[in-house]
A and B are shown apart, each in its own frame.
Chain A
Amino acid sequence: MGKAVLIVDDDPDIILYVSTILEKIGCHTSGAKNGEEAMNKIKQNRPDLIILDVVMPLLSGVKLYRDLKVSEKFKSIPIIILSGISKQTFLDSQEALSEFTDQPIPEPSAYVEKPPEPEQFTKIVQRFVQ
């Protein structure tokens, strides 16, 4: 226990909400409000799990996800996408970005549509932090 989880969302409410859920199962949470800030935090302190929103200003979730998945150093960190947009839209935007890279981008470890349901969300997170 005591795994480090980074929650990336431009909405501070979501960060607070998800933190509250995850602290109940003993996670250490931190938040980042955009992809750029998230990248800096990941470089400083490698998290065990990332909860990632898709639509954000500055560096979007789509781009951050791709950057992490093509990075040798970080590609093994599991990422749960938590977003208001559908999984298909997310995959389509990944596909659109993939023109710029030769590497196939793996699908996210899990995909949860907002709003997260605490009990179910806890179960999903537990798959990656135990």
Chain B
Amino acid sequence: MDPEKPRKILVVEDDSDMLLGLKKLLTKEGYEVETSGDGIQASELVRKNFYSIVLLDLKLPGIDGFEVLKLIKETRPDSEVIIITGHGNLDTAIQALKLNASDFITKPFMKEAILIALQRANEKIAIKKKLKEYTETLEIKVQAAIVEIVRRQEFERRLIQSSIDGIVGSDGEGKIVIYNEAAEDIFGFPPAEVLQKKNINALYPAPIAEKIQRDLAGQIAPDKPLGWKEITISNRQGEEIPVRFSGNIIRSNGGTIGSVGFFHDLRQVKKLEQELIRSERQAAIGQTMASIAHYIKNILSGLQGGIYVANTALEKNDMDRFKAGWEMLQKNTNRITTLVKDLLNYSRARDPEYRMASVNEIVQEVQNLIEPRAREYNIKLTRNLDPNLPPISLDPQGIHNALLNLVSNALDACISGRERDDLEVKITTAQSNKSLIIEVSDNGAGMDEEVKKQLFTSFFSTKKGKGTGLGLLTTHKIIQEHRGTIAVKSEKGKGSTFIIELPKAEKAMNKGGQ
């Protein structure tokens, strides 16, 4: 049906002349016109057919026009009814309008009045139709929007729930409104005891809870998240649980509406760290054992060899060779003595004693100790110290031993590489923002890659018969206890530089050094 121009129209009028006239006029206007002269027939027609517009005279034979109007509005609410009344019959007209008639025209009527009333009825139909369409579309849209909102809410809920980090959200007053499964794992409280019941003060460590509360109250303006940091929380059972925490204040339209805290459980990580340290330590012990066994094998070879050589010499009465065998026995006995001494040195459970001390002073002491030996071999021993080096917390005896070891090594490297007469060992101190740097360099024998690789890892020595390979291992251990690093640069035939870095601020490891 053309929405602008409903085709079907019913005219109900007992005056047959007027009926005819109206039919003629309306047909000419393009309507499909049906007519009826009485209320009963009109009611039947209305029941049977749908008319967009009904022109209804209220004074009818048979049934009263009002009854027909009521019927139309009950059965065909979309039909527009235009009432025809006698002139001056305003009360009737108003009554009809109350019964949802859309308009009225008074008899005797003019053609224009009818056309205007029809036009208005048509407009009304069109608007009604549009409204209906609009409402239907709106309903579909609202339905879709609701589905989307529910989907998103569900998605976000699951997102929060499935996070491996504990998530705790509060409203603007600090009352907890979000508490996921991971948070439950960490804090130990069931959600029913927390959600809407507890304040963040009950879960968070006091300083963090206080800060969030202050921020929520808007006392601190910047929208800066509380960065990740490692903290310890105590859970429902009173256990201390290490977590990495980060949080933020949630703002909207310039106000604070809540807070969120993320808790990354570190229990597993800490456990793995412990296990790693343990297994590394075991591996190190195993390696040390293997190295010691290897070293003892060498000594054993010397002892057995000495006995064998001496015995053979005795059989042949070869005094020179007997002496050589005897010397082998003596030398390897000495090697065992040195080994035992070095082992004791390495393993001696001396507690490091940390105090504020000057690295330059320790360098000075070491230099004084080494000076006579350096002079004996005509090796220049120089130092270049940063006078502004701040004192740091260290174990003076440990650092002394470590430095003494490095400087002795440098001297040995010079002695074994004596192909030049400008041999020099240099000790330098310097500093960066975060650390003190001690360098011990020599222009002695230097090392090839193979030797460098084995420096700190094995019981390795290039000083056959003299060194046990424990010196650098001990040095390494001391520097590690200070949370420092030791590195080496070396070139075969050109010399080596050992670089120790000690952190300025970092507190050294706990007593005993784990």
Contacts and interface: CB of A to CB of B under 8 A. Distances in A.
Interface of A: 10-11, 13-14, 16-18, 20-21, 24, 55, 57-58, 60, 84-85, 113-116, 118
Given A10-B464, A57-B451, A118-B308, A17 B328 contact: yes
B305 A14 contact: yes
Interface stretch (B149-157, B293-301, B354-362): B293-301
A85 B294 contact: yes
Contact of B328 (A10, A13, A58, A84): A13
B331 interface: yes
A18 B302 CA distance: 11
A48 B160 CA distance: 78
Contacts, number: 63
B312 interface: yes
B309 A84 contact: no
13 contacts: A13-B302, A13-B328, A14-B305, A16-B305, A16-B324, A17-B301, A17-B306, A17-B328, A18-B305, A57-B462, A85-B294, A115-B300, A115-B304
B506 to A, nearest CB: 37
Given A85-B294, A113-B297, A16 B309 contact: yes
Contacts of B465: 11
Nearest to B454: A55
Given A11-B465, A16-B305, A17-B328, A84 B298 contact: yes
B5 to A, nearest CB: 94
Given A11-B465, A60-B450, A115-B300, A17 B294 contact: no
A115 B307 CA distance: 12
A37 B22 CA distance: 135
Contacts of A85: 294
B300 A13 contact: no
Contacts of A58: 448
Contacts of A57: 451, 462
Given A11-B298, A115-B304, 13 more contacts: A10-B464, A11-B302, A11-B465, A14-B302, A16-B305, A16-B325, A17-B305, A20-B312, A21-B308, A57-B462, A84-B294, A84-B295, A114-B297
Which interface residue of B298, B300, B321 has the most chain A CB atoms within 10 A? B298
A83 B309 CA distance: 19
B441 interface: no
B301 A20 contact: no
A95 to B, nearest CB: 15
Contact of A13 (B331, B448, B450, B451): B331
B297 A84 contact: yes
The list of the 6 closest CB pairs from A to B, nearest first, reads A17-B305, A115-B301, A84-B297, A13-B302, A114-B301, A84-B294
A115 B297 contact: yes
B332 interface: yes
Interface in B284-321: 294-295, 297-298, 300-306, 308-309, 312, 321
A10 B328 CA distance: 14
B461 to A, nearest CB: 10
Given A57-B451, A113-B297, A115-B300, A13 B332 contact: yes
Contacts of B460: 55
B464 A11 contact: yes
A16 to B, nearest CB: 6
B448 to A, nearest CB: 8
Interface string B94-124: 0000000000000000000000000000000
Nearest to A18: B305
Contact of A20 (B297, B321, B448): B321
Nearest to B448: A58
Nearest to B307: A17
B328 A16 contact: yes
B309 A17 contact: yes
Nearest to B445: A57
B462 A115 contact: no
Contacts of A116: 301, 304
Contact of B301 (A10, A14, A24, A55): A14
A10 B464 CA distance: 7
A130 to B, nearest CB: 21
Which interface residue of A13, A14, A16, A24 has the most chain B CB atoms within 10 A? A13
A13 B464 CA distance: 11
A128 B314 CA distance: 28
Contacts of A10: 464
A20 B301 CA distance: 13
Contacts of B297: 84, 113-115
Contacts of B464: 10-11
A21 B306 CA distance: 12
Given A20-B321, A84-B298, A115-B297, A13 B312 contact: no
B357 to A, nearest CB: 37
Contacts of B301: 11, 13-14, 17, 84, 114-116
Nearest to B299: A115
